Amino acid sequence: MSSDLRAELFDEVARVARVMAAHLGAHGSTILQNNDSPDQVLFHVHVHVVPRYPGDAYLTPSGPPGLEIPRETRVEQAAALHAALRRG
């Protein structure tokens, strides 16, 4: 990935994190970037921006099993985040 594209990607990651705080009430975020993982069939880079809340018991995927956010909650959060990002 070129440095220009990497800068553009992480500018967008920062925007997503800001919108999560403003529109989902997140107190912060955990940002994970993956590329060229051992099981990856098609080389690509992707970023997870995880909203964080006090007492959420979130553990990184490489740690021991943690609390999984229910799918319904994740779908609702994704829809709210999508709408907020479209508004600017």
How high is the mean pLDDT in each 10-residue block of the chain (88 residues)?
92 92 89 76 85 83 62 87 86
Tokens 């994704």 — which residue? 78
Q: What is the pLDDT of residue 46?
A: 85
Give the dihedral of Cα atoms 10, 12, 15, 16; nearest 10 deg.
Answer: -100
What are the phi and psi torsion angles at 86 (to 5°)? Answer: -70, -30
How many residues can be counted in the chain?
88
- HSE-up (13 A, CA, CB side) for residue 33: 6
Rounded to two decimals, the pTM is: 0.69
- The domain covering 3-87 belongs, at the CATH homologous superfamily level, to HIT-like (3.30.428.10)
Per-residue confidence (pLDDT) for residue 10, from 0 to 100: 94
Kind plus residue range of the DSSP H or E element containing 53: none
**Domains of the chain by residue range:** 3-87
Q: What is the pLDDT of residue 35?
A: 73
